[in-house]
């Protein structure tokens, strides 16, 4: 039974959930080192289940391992942290001293490990891109009146949770309880939303994670190929720092060489010999390579989406709303009301309340394997791995639309899209936190016109000191940003409609 009252304070609960997986994973790897595999496998499963039970039932007090509570907690981030801790430990205690011919590979792994850990930390701690909210009731009233008079008060333009106008490509995250600019998805693995402010760090983290696992596998192969069993009586007076007592029986010349591992090992002889030589490392290798396929697929889809100027949320809702809520190619209808639903009707306001949660609440109404993968515990697992968009009917319909006639108004070509992503909109002069309409003439032309107008008015700064501030002023919606946003606040909200000629 779950506990009715929390065992620890909120801060200590989060800290315990973040740290606990490191100790449990270490215990699991140690279990494989000291016990035969037929005993270690069920015991390791019990240890992992015990960790999950303690986190979900004891620390979080969830009745049935509530999905929202687990997603809001640092549980998944703690698993990543624990895995990285033991990867670094295994690399330092085994590979650094026992792979003398792989100095370059060790250096590459060290660089990848540092970059991965740093960007993982940054993806967690950075603001994902919180959108501005009205400062008072008067501004809220003005926003609603303006959107109502324009016939655009719906879930695509207004957030009833924040009571604020929603910028294009933003979404209200129910886990973070805020609207996030250029929202991609809420990622439990980094305990944060992935949006405008930390999307670059997230992609670097996933990239270095995939490459780091591959480099670790290479070093493990070199380690098992070069290291030999130390003899029970070393010829030197001082034994090796990492010398280990060999298992019972005649040791092989190398772990990969021919050996009689007994009838208990059902794997190939080379893998059995490596497992017998260093079970801690082989169990760690199995665990890390178990993460490689889905992280590689996640990285591939993220890169593909960046090149196509899309986010995970937009891909997931193409079959439902079209591009950014518009149907067809007309830029005039990009912020139109939902098809067939009056914006001020009960259905329209319900859509406003839940329209921002399309990715999190996507349902599959089809049958077969896809429906099974999208529901229940398997659906939660698919969400954790970022694969749910490929198993939901509406998501698949959205992907099919990419080959249709619908046009993405933000698409600037592969190179331009990548530049826009890495510069967080500065390349094309877009402030995604305050972007409410698509310029009729397109982003590049709008930027060129603003630059010419500012040159005529003598407002251009020199190429030296204030280039960054100049780019900010030139950005679409950037004039609102000049009103101030000190201390991480969100002042300077611009509720009025932008000039049609901008």
Catalytic annotation, residues:
187
What is the C-alpha to C-alpha distance for residues 88 and 84, in angstroms, rounded to an integer?
Answer: 6
What is the C-alpha to C-alpha distance for residues 197 and 353, in angstroms, rounded to an integer?
Answer: 24
Tokens matching residue 207: 């990239």
H or E element at residue 210: helix 199-226
Residues 261-292 as b/e (b if ≥16 CB within 10 A, e otherwise) read: beeebeeeebbbbbbbbbbbbbbbbebbeebe
CA distances from 346 to 58, 135, 350 (A): 40, 27, 6
Residues 99-117 as b/e (b if ≥16 CB within 10 A, e otherwise) read: beebeebbebbbebbebbb
What is the C-alpha to C-alpha distance for residues 92 and 458, in angstroms, rounded to an integer?
Answer: 59
Cβ–Cβ < 8 Å for 70, 60: yes
Residues 169-180 as b/e (b if ≥16 CB within 10 A, e otherwise) read: bbbbbbbbebbb
29 CB burial (10 A radius; 0-12, 13-18, 19+): buried
Chain-centre distance for alpha carbon 271: 33
Query: Secondary structure of 37-96 in the HEC alphabet?
Result: HHHHHHHHHHHHHHHHHHHHHHHCCCCCCCHHHHHHCCHHHHHHHHHHHHHHHHHHHHHH
């Amino acid at each position: 039974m779950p506990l009715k009252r929390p065992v620890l304070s909120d801060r200590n609960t989060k800290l315990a959930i973040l740290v606990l997986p490191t100790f449990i994973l270490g215990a699991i790897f140690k279990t494989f080192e000291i016990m035969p595999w037929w005993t270690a496998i069920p015991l390791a499963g019990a240890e992992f289940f015990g960790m999950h039970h303690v986190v979900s039932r004891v620390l979080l007090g969830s009745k049935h391992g509530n999905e929202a509570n687990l997603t809001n907690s640092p549980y998944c981030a703690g698993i990543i942290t624990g895995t990285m801790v033991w990867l670094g430990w295994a690399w330092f205690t085994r590979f650094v001293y026992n792979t003398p011919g792989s100095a370059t590979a060790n250096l590459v792994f060290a660089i990848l490990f540092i970059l991965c850990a740093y960007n993982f930390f940054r993806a967690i701690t950075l603001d994902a891109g919180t959108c501005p909210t009205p400062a008072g009731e008067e501004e809220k009233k003005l926003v609603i009146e303006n959107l109502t008079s324009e016939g655009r008060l719906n879930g695509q333009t207004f957030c009833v949770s924040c009571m604020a106008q929603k910028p294009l490509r933003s979404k209200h995250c129910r886990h973070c309880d805020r609207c996030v600019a250029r929202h991609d998805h809420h990622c439990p693995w980094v305990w944060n939303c992935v949006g405008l402010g930390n999307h670059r760090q997230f992609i670097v983290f996933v990239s270095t994670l995939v490459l780091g696992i591959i480099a670790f596998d290479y070093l493990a192969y070199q380690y098992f190929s070069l290291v030999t069993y130390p003899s029970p009586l070393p010829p030197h007076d001082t034994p090796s720092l990492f010398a280990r007592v060999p298992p019972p029986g005649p040791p092989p010349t190398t772990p990969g060489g021919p050996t009689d591992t007994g009838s208990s090992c059902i794997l190939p002889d080379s893998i059995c010999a490596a497992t017998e030589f260093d079970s801690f490392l082989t169990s760690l290798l199995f665990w890390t390579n178990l993460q490689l396929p889905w992280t590689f697929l996640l990285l591939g889809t993220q890169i593909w989406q960046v090149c196509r100027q899309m986010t995970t949320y937009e891909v997931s809702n193409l079959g439902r709303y079209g591009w950014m809520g518009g149907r067809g190619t007309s830029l005039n209808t990009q912020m139109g009301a939902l098809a067939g639903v009056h914006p001020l009707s009960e259905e329209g306001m319900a859509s406003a309340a839940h329209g921002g949660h399309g990715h999190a609440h996507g349902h599959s109404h089809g049958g077969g394997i896809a429906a099974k993968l999208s529901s229940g515990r398997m659906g939660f697992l698919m969400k954790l791995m970022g694969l749910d968009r490929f198993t939901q009917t509406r998501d698949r319909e959205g992907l099919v639309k990419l080959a249709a006639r619908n046009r993405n108004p933000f698409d600037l070509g592969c190179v331009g899209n990548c530049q826009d992503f890495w510069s967080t909109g500065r390349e094309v002069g877009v402030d995604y936190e305050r972007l409410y309409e698509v310029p009729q003439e397109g982003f590049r032309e709008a930027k060129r016109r603003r630059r010419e107008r500012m040159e005529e008015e003598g407002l251009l700064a020199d190429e030296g000191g204030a280039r960054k501030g100049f780019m900010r002023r030139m950005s679409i919606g950037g004039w609102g940003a000049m009103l101030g946003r000190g201390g991480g606040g969100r002042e300077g909200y611009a509720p009025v409609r932008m000039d049609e000629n901008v």
